[in-house]
Amino acid sequence: MELTVDTTITFDNLLSANKRITQHIGGTRSGKTYAILQYLIVKALQEAQNITIVRRTVPSLKRSVIKDYKEIMQELGIWSNESYNISDRVYTFANGSLISFVNTDDAEKLRGVKSDILFIDEASEQHEESYFQLSIRTTGEIILAFNPTVSPYHWLRNMDDVEQFRTTYKNNPYLPDVMIKEIEALELKNPKYYKIYGLGEYAPNDKAVFQNFQILESFPTHELIGYGMDFGFSQDPTTLIAVHRHHDMLYVRELMYERGLTTTDITRRLESLNIGKTEIWADSAEPRLIEEIYRSGFNIKPVRKGPDSIKFGISVLQNFGLVVDNKSTHLIDELYGYEYMTDKNGVVLDKPQGFNDHCIDALRYLAMSRLSLKQANKGKYTLSFK
């Protein structure tokens, strides 16, 4: 049986790559994901392979890589409904090759994933720990695809021994003229978007929720107004953020970002940081944990979450300028990547797409509790009379 695959330069990049790990950085409509899927299908047909394709959530898998994968297989005339296990999301080839579609928002699943080839689409969505768990269980190629909206501190931009390929819409010969015109129109309408999504170059993310931050190597010590804490364990980290204030500027430092911490571990970390009796505002969803830390001698309190508490906390923080210590790499990464959701037409919505937001949540808890207008005016009463 002979098959002809019409593909793009990304396919050739993979064939000619000299390193085990390749990064495919591209703008919108560059065809990189489609070409990578074609490459993986060819590899699966040539010899028995255990191939894993990854996105963060099941919905993102279904609407992107699974949809494209099925389309490619149908175009090649080799799709078989009987070969695809819908519940496990595994396609089995006649030669024994397996292509599995895996979501990473279930941490326990990652420990059972073993691959000959690993492909992570939209790799910037993933925690470094998720990547680590997948990579140590992969014997062969690792393929990472993402858009250039990640911060300079992101783990993807600080990897060693990788081969990088950059593609744009100009590398996709199958792109309709109407789409080309829409992308090129961004050069005048939104030059920053054109730089990112048109030219595939690193630039600040215009969809980012926080545009009001700067990064400094060091800054003066100002009034410490408290700490914010968010709890995690296996998949998500426990975080602690110190917040200092000077007029309308907040000076923030990341003091804790660690997974697998028990209550005892957390209290030991707090002791080593000399927190003392300064207020710590923490996630109210963990009352038992808060009580245990309180009984260990720390002034920890649950934040009060009302309706739209996320939106409210963000609005409080947006009233200040943020100055971030340059060693607070996880916080910086989150601030770069924390962006508003878009609808199916690409319209930006007034709702953040939260997943990598554990430091931001800790910062938000402190802001809601100590920096809101309601809290600032607590104990003050205004009388008006004739």
| Segment 102-109 mean pLDDT | 80
Number of neighbours of residue 281 by Cβ within 10 angstroms? 26
Tokens of 113: 């994933």
**What domains can you pick out in the chain, each with its CATH number?**
9-198 (3.40.50.300), 213-376 (3.30.420.280)
Quote the pLDDT of residue 347.
65
**For 376-386, what is each residue's pLDDT tens digit?**
444 444 445 44
DSSP secondary structure code for residue 25 in this structure: E
Across 134-138, 210-214, 352-356, the highest mean pLDDT is recorded for 134-138
Neighbouring-strand partners of residue 170? none
* pLDDT tier at 346, thresholds 50, 70, 90: low
DSSP codes, 112-166: T--BSEEEETTGGGS-HHHHHHHHTTB-S-EEEEE-S-S-TTSGGGG-SSEEEEE
Quote the pLDDT of residue 179.
85
HEC-encoded secondary structure of 31-52:
CHHHHHHHHHHHHHHHCCCEEE
Task: Considering only CA atoms, give the Rg of the chain.
Answer: 24
Which residue in 354, 317, 61, 285 sits closest to 213, CA to CA?
Answer: 317
Pairing of β 223-230 and β 238-246 = antiparallel
* pLDDT tier at 352, thresholds 50, 70, 90: confident
- Cα 86 to Cα 89: distance, rounded to the nearest angstrom: 5
pTM over 0.85: no
Higher pLDDT, 128 or 361: 361
Poorest-pLDDT segment among 80-84, 268-272, 293-297, 382-386:
382-386
Which residue in 293, 356, 321, 323 sits closest to 105, CA to CA?
Answer: 356
| Segment 5-33 mean pLDDT | 92
